[in-house]
Chain A
């Protein structure tokens, strides 16, 4: 291996480099942080990604639109429905068709359920990053309820491939609405418990308050979207900025804080779960009748370039399709939220302790397969 400039730099300065990852409990996947320490203090980190690159974008070029959909599940697997929805919306825009309101409502309900499930898992893992191992089980216990709802309707728990261009793969299960309502009441009772266990805890507050400050300018410069950006006061909720699906029909608040530290990134997500419950409550009883799949002869985008963005649980997912009129895209590009969010890490974690690095990277809620795609 040839020596890069950085390598030589390391040798001259005799820095204490540790590799966090690719196999490390706090990176939640195969991501590697080359971390330079000075004592306990992090001087800088260099994220190395690519360990789980699967070439989804290139692979998609040889697949038709309904086919390439099943690859999008595998990018940010915690918001699989939302990823599906992004592609579906983009293709529908290109074909200039509009799905029925029923589909829109169901899509939004599924998306919000995924958002809650994703935040639950994040909460679990975040607690675990900070050493509170019990949170992991409470989060997963409640997430299981959502996965059951998914499984009953879509047939799978994690990667569903349910929302397709033109509608949905199937209609919702008769139990769907009842279960969602049950979940709303159940989870409204459990969320305060989350707060008692972690949010109010003095150790937790000490560990997160004022740690990893990210200014609004930084958030914008690095294009940090989603809850991580909103924690710094960056209004970037696509559901508000460019409402899609059933979001125009519902009332909800965009949660933003201006403090920009780990604690407030955490709070954004906790509050978002409440908001998502509100959205669900507004939608679940009012699902209108309508067809669940448009009768499309062939699903192909006309020649041109199309872009659609949606709000996943981690930020703004953009789908950019270049089509030459064939049933397969000529080029498809995903603007994945995690890739942008990752690179702020060096800036916000410099001069913090190594334990804070874990807390900060946890608060950015990175999903590694989405970084590499």
Chain B
């Protein structure tokens, strides 16, 4: 019912019919780029706002409420402030790397956004190895973090960056493995295929306990990969002041900040797509009346609703738990998550072979 493909196709045909193929693709790319950038900025700012409101409520506070109604423009005001702030250059820093690091971080997360299916047909690019692409791209961000920490030539930053490196390299495994579990179920790496395979029920629901375990592990590892609390060791403000971005100011700092939130969005969006059926509405088996009502809610809402829920859970983690120590962080990955994950993978392969899932 709510299929975006005709709309997208009409834009496509408008450009291809009015311009030469070369210019059409250039203009389409430009349009797409602008759309993604605008989406990125707005979403990032409002994720920051949401986090501030949510943590405020958990802490018996009101949160931002001065700029605009309910403080809705607070983060925009903050962004303007950050734009106007002086960029501090550090004399002994490695200038080139120091400047390029925030861009690496932010570009990695923008690129990952491109392959996320927001609704049927509303996806910039539907790669046949979508999951792999997202994993690969989102782990590029850590290179930016490492460079930032190294190039700042500050002792705190280096420690933060090294922590971040160790953390992302280990948790990448868990993220990959838990996604692999679901790929075994779905039998495809293409995100749209994975969604279609959930037409008759989300993988979280029809994948028995192993799917649930994979989901929990994915959430934990995903939180760790985005450097968010309780895994925010790279920033650990009570230990390292601000970790790898201690020396950054102004808009460059804002890049790190936005990228952190957008990474969280990407993790949540991937979880939605793979475990919670993406933009598919919630259906109860054979309960047609209910299912029809659910179908009337546009898929975009389903997608963002599920994503928002996962983001909320991740924020809930952050504002409840103390931070782990670096060795505990690695122990958690290598001693608990990884073995469980491997076990899980075997179980799921078995289930799939026996066709025991619904």
Contact = CB atoms under 8 A, between A and B. Distances in A.
Decide if A and B touch, CB cutoff 8 A: yes
Interface of A: 16-18, 24-26, 37, 40, 127-134, 136-138, 141, 197-198, 201, 203-204, 206-207, 353-358
A136 B238 CA distance: 13
Question: Chain A interface mostly helix, strand, loop or mixed?
Answer: helix
A26 B238 contact: yes
A365 to B, nearest CB: 15
Interface residues of B, number: 29
B325 A207 contact: yes
B208 interface: no
B335 to A, nearest CB: 12
Of the listed residues A130, A131, A357, the one surrounded by the most CB atoms of chain B closer than 10 A to its CB is A131
Contacts of A26: 238-239
Nearest to A28: B238
Given A16-B155, A25-B241, A26-B238, A355 B55 contact: no
A354 B159 contact: yes
19 contacts: A16-B155, A17-B155, A25-B241, A128-B238, A130-B322, A132-B320, A132-B321, A132-B323, A133-B59, A133-B229, A134-B319, A138-B60, A141-B60, A198-B322, A207-B324, A207-B328, A353-B327, A355-B239, A357-B239
B236 interface: yes
B322 A207 contact: yes
A321 to B, nearest CB: 39
A356 to B, nearest CB: 7
Question: Chain B interface mostly helix, strand, loop or mixed?
Answer: loop
A197 B320 contact: yes
Given A18-B156, A141-B60, A353-B327, A203 B239 contact: no
Contacts of B55: 133-134
Interface string B312-349: 00000001111111111000000000000000000000
A32 B101 CA distance: 31
Contacts of B323: 130-132, 203, 207, 355
B232 interface: yes
B61 interface: yes
B61 A137 contact: yes
A40 B60 contact: no
A138 B324 CA distance: 21
Q: Which 3 A-B pairs have the closest CB atoms?
A: A131-B323, A137-B59, A130-B322
Nearest to B58: A134
A198 B320 CA distance: 9
Contacts of A138: 59-60
A18 B155 contact: yes
B219 to A, nearest CB: 16
Given A131-B230, A134-B58, A206-B328, A201 B236 contact: no
B321 A355 contact: no
